[in-house]
Structure 1
Amino acid sequence: MSIRNWPESERPRERLLGQGAAALSDAELLAIFLRTGTAQQSAIELARGLIDQFEGLAGLFSATPSEVMACHGIGPAKYTHLLAALELGRRHSESELRQGVGLNDPRVAIRYISQQLKAERREVFAVLFLDSQLRLLAFEKIFFGSMTSCSVHIREVMSRALAHRAVQIIIAHNHPDAPAQPSEADIALTQQLMRACQLFDIQLVDHVIVGTSGSQSLALKGLMPVPH
């Protein structure tokens, strides 16, 4: 049955207006962007099918255009709506960071970094350059590697930090085909960068890792090494 024939209290748009976006499930929110379903499925059923097929929203938004549009009921128009929703989320997060809103809460930066790196299919090393008030000066993807490795040149990281006149930085990288669990090499790299930052009176705030099933902050986990 079409959503338009549902009771108003059960329709996603009406529920969003009356109860707020947080009251809706992932499928209901996705259905609002899809707008319509197919002859056989309502928009919510179509949304649930996409979430199931791609094992969650992260899988859906990191899939290639051909993978998504190969799904029954998803054509270029619906796919562009999804891309626009994803880009709005990214821009909203970046706007918060540039205003310094909530950056003393690592989860704000983690959300933004995850949005930037989760779709990458190779390993990427990136840096958030921040001023003294934790406002975002720039976000740069600096190094790119294979599916399993990325060579990070500390001199280049510091050069970019000085160019942006950053007082603080947050480093990040992704594990394209693995969980966000930090490796010994990740800890060692953090240690080396922390020492380099000290030489230039720059604070290394955090190291965020984006994996296949979520993200991890070394600062939140108490894993930021103590320089020596």
Structure 2
Amino acid sequence: MTYHLRIADLPSSDRPREKLMTQGSRSLTAAELIAILLGTGQGPGKLSAVGLGQYMLQKLSQNQPDPLLTLRDITPEELMQIPGVGPAKATTILAALELGKRVFQARPGEQAIISEPSQAAAVLSQEMMWETTERFGVLLLDVRHRLLGHHIISVGSATETIAHPKEIFREVIRRGANRMVIAHNHPSGNLDPSQADLSLTRQLLAGGQLLGIPILDHLILGQGEFCSLRQTTTLWQELPQGD
């Protein structure tokens, strides 16, 4: 008879479920989070669920330094190529990944007030956060910072997108917006702004001053994270927007 190693067979201090309940989900490693989804182990050498999670991450890192990036777009067939991962385990993992994406992408409705960078990032994430090519978008707001809509201005390559200030302000004026948040994504997940990003931001902030359409922030999104240039640079002190 085949014996399946279970999470319950581990010492209580090593059980991911108990650890999550007492210390919170952030205290768990990626392997432990996967172990909760797997439920049981096996694979090479009859690994525990945690061991199988570690083995799975090791296999995924063979072609990508960060295995979590591989998980983002993995298929059921690719998961089931890992020893110990069958259809049931593969579908559980894929369902959890999709649910996580949808939770992150949940957006406030029209007329919601955008007062924090995280709210703006949530609105734009569905069309920008996980894309493999760079996109430049704008969030349109009224004078009270209520959400009027959003628009993708341009789509570029995997490493570069082009957005001209004229195109950006044209869309804002056309839609009757009084304020805006601009954003673009970095498919690599590296959120550090390039010199081109900073230069374009300066141009747009100067244009916002001239046209009387304040730019509230410039966000860089990628791989589930975002960076606010308003919070991490001095550009808004150099070119005040009169929010």
TM-score by length of 1: 0.72
Deviates more, 1:52-61 or 1:1-10: 52-61
Give the aligned partner of residue 24 of structure 1.
Answer: 28
Counterpart-to-counterpart distance in 2, 1:48 and 1:111: 31
Aligned partner of 1:91 among 105, 127, 142: 105
CA-CA distance at 1:213 after TM superposition: 11
Give the alignment of 1:18-167 within 5 angstroms.
Answer: 18-39=22-43, 40-52=46-58, 53=61, 54-56=64-66, 59-65=69-75, 69=79, 71-72=81-82, 73=85, 75=87, 77-92=91-106, 94-95=107-108, 99-100=112-113, 103-104=115-116, 106=117, 109=120, 117-162=128-173, 164-167=175-178
User: What count of residue pairs does the alignment treat as equivalent?
Assistant: 225
1:60–1:41 Cα change, 3 Å: farther
Give the secondary structure class of the aligned counterpart of 1:220.
helix
* 1:189 aligned onto 2:200: yes
**Are the aligned partners of 2:129 and 2:224 in contact in 1 as well (CA < 8 Å)?**
no
Aligned partner of 2:180 among 156, 169, 172: 169
Q: Deviations over 1:151-199 (max 9, x none)?
A: 2133332243345544432222233358433223212211222233334
Q: Give the aligned residue type for 2:50.
A: I
1:48–1:100 Cα change, 3 Å: farther
Give the secondary structure class of the aligned counterpart of 1:181.
coil
1:175–1:190 Cα change, 3 Å: same
Q: Which runs of 5+ in 2 are unaligned?
A: none
Rg comparison, structure with higher value: 2
Q: Which runs of 5+ in 1 are unaligned?
A: none
CA-CA distance at 1:210 after TM superposition: 3.9
TM-score by length of 2: 0.68
Counterpart-to-counterpart distance in 1, 2:186 and 2:121: 15
1:66–1:16 Cα change, 3 Å: closer
Give the aligned partner of residue 224 of structure 1.
Answer: 235
**Are the aligned partners of 2:189 and 2:221 in contact in 1 as well (CA < 8 Å)?**
no
Q: What percent identity do the matched residue pairs reach?
A: 30
Give the secondary structure class of the aligned counterpart of 1:16.
helix
Give the aligned partner of residue 202 of structure 1.
Answer: 213
Counterpart-to-counterpart distance in 2, 1:74 and 1:169: 47
Counterpart-to-counterpart distance in 2, 1:222 and 1:91: 26
Cα RMSD for the two superposed structures: 3.9
